[in-house]
């Protein structure tokens, strides 16, 4: 029987969940893997607060470096990108195997971390960094190893998905649902990371690196949050046969470049991803041999995230016990994609909602502006859920496929037209 020691850094919600699982299911893991995985230390500055998990005396300590030193596997669950980065780099320099759920750290410092792992002879596992308990990292790294990945679509933030679900089901406005989500604990007091799309962007960067090699920082990709999506947009999309989701879109292009972008997106009601509701996550992966696959489950929370972390611990323990620290590399440094397509070069279909003076000739003028930029109109209608008696009309335009730069230029020209009031709402459409 092989023995592997585990140290946890960070004894918060997820850390407590991982400790609880390792202590309760040590025997189960041993039966299934043939390796005795023992929790030997927990490092946290707070050693007095009751986390609801009974740990052996002396296991919880504020001396985090000592936990790293005596552990074969170091599990980083501190969060953030400062202290966590320091401890992970220290562990990798000592040749340790690292398990982390830290998506922000990987997205911003992934290249440095994997370089440190290579130099020190360690390995990094990060299943819990994307989509909580859904095994999407392992699937991309191992399950689809024989496939070229054509595209990935992901609903990767439970807070945004919950907000859209409530808006759709209950005809509630964005601000009202956001306040309720904060009250229920689904959204933070400062919800920017979620609703402005950055949490999803961190995860998109990680998925793109697994699918296509290379490592790109979050600031290299287009990110748009959900603040400007109104109840009118939700209802109008429904009338058109779509649902709106905050979507991570990752695609391989014909010239070997990739698209990596995050924004609210209209998707067909009949698409499997459209059925992902409330706080759940969903990821659709298309490979050249496997075709379309769909992953669904809880994307956050103590239990789901702890499950993913413990899965990585078991994998890492098997590697160490068998003397194979990297069966399939978690990051292929030597494989570099041809770069990310700039957003202005992306081609998509578009949903435009605008408020105009209700007078003859306005629609013809708008269609002419679009035509001048090479943007073809697929459908134009008055917003069926907008009632206005002030001489204004709310209209919706659906375009055929067009280049982002052309649509942006058309919008600028339309907003300069005196019959158009305020900003034009732009959303993109993916038929999946």
Hey, which residues are catalytic here? Answer: 203
Q: Is 139 helix (H, G, I), strand (E, B) or coil?
A: helix
Q: Is 350 helix (H, G, I), strand (E, B) or coil?
A: strand
Single out the residue of 316, 389, 377, 380 nearest to residue 353, CA to CA: 380
- Residue 420, beta-bridge partner list: 356
Inter-residue contact 335 to 213 (CB < 8 Å): yes
d(C-alpha 212, C-alpha 197), whole Å: 22
Inter-residue contact 130 to 136 (CB < 8 Å): yes
Inter-residue contact 255 to 340 (CB < 8 Å): no
Inter-residue contact 80 to 105 (CB < 8 Å): yes
Q: Is 394 helix (H, G, I), strand (E, B) or coil?
A: strand
Helix ranges, 78-191 (H): 83-93, 103-120, 136-138, 158-170, 174-184
Give the pair of three-digit tokens for residue 36.
């005795």
How many of the other CB atoms lie within 10 Å of CB of 327? 12
Q: Is 426 helix (H, G, I), strand (E, B) or coil?
A: strand
Q: How many residues does the chain have?
A: 432
């Amino acid at each position: 029987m092989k023995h592997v020691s585990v140290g946890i850094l960070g004894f918060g919600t997820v850390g407590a969940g991982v400790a609880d699982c390792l202590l309760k299911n040590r025997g189960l893991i041993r039966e299934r893997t043939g390796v005795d995985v023992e929790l030997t230390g927990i490092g946290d500055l707070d050693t007095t607060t009751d986390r609801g998990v009974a740990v052996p005396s002396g296991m919880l300590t504020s001396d985090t470096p000592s936990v790293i030193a005596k552990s074969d596997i170091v599990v980083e669950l501190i969060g953030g990108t400062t202290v966590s980065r320091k401890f992970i780099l220290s562990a990798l320099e000592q040749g340790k195997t690292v398990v982390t759920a830290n998506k922000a750290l990987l997205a911003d410092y992934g290249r440095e971390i994997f370089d440190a792992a290579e130099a020190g002879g360690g390995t990094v596992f990060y299943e819990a960094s994307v989509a909580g308990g859904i095994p999407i990292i392992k699937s991309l790294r191992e399950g689809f190893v024989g496939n070229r990945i054509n595209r990935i679509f992901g609903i990767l933030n439970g807070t945004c998905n919950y907000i859209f679900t409530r808006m759709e089901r209950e005809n509630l406005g964005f601000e009202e649902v956001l306040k309720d989500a904060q009250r229920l604990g689904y959204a933070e007091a400062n919800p920017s990371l979620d609703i402005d799309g950055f949490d999803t962007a961190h995860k998109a960067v990680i998925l793109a690196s697994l699918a296509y090699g290379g490592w790109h920082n979050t600031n290299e990709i287009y990110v748009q949050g959900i603040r400007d999506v109104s109840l009118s947009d939700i209802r109008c999309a429904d009338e058109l046969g779509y649902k709106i989701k905050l979507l991570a879109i990752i695609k391989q292009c014909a010239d070997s470049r990739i698209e990596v972008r995050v924004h609210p997106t209209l998707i067909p009601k009949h698409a499997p991803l459209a059925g992902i509701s409330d706080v759940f996550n969903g990821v659709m992966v298309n490979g050249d041999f496997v075709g379309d696959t769909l992953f669904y489950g809880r994307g956050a929370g103590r239990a789901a995230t702890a499950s993913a972390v413990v899965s990585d611990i078991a994998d890492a323990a098997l590697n160490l016990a068998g003397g194979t620290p990297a069966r399939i590399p978690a990051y292929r440094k030597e494989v570099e994609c041809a770069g990310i397509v700039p957003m202005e070069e992306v081609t998509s279909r578009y949903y435009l909602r605008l408020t105009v003076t209700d007078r003859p000739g306005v629609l013809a003028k708008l269609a002419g502006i679009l035509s001048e930029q090479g943007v073809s109109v697929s459908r134009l209608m008055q917003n069926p859920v907008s009632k206005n008696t002030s001489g204004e009309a709310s209209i919706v335009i659906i375009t055929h496929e067009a280049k982002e730069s052309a649509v942006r230029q058309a919008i600028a020209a339309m907003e300069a037209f005196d019959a158009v009031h305020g900003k034009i709402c732009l959303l993109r459409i993916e038929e999946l």
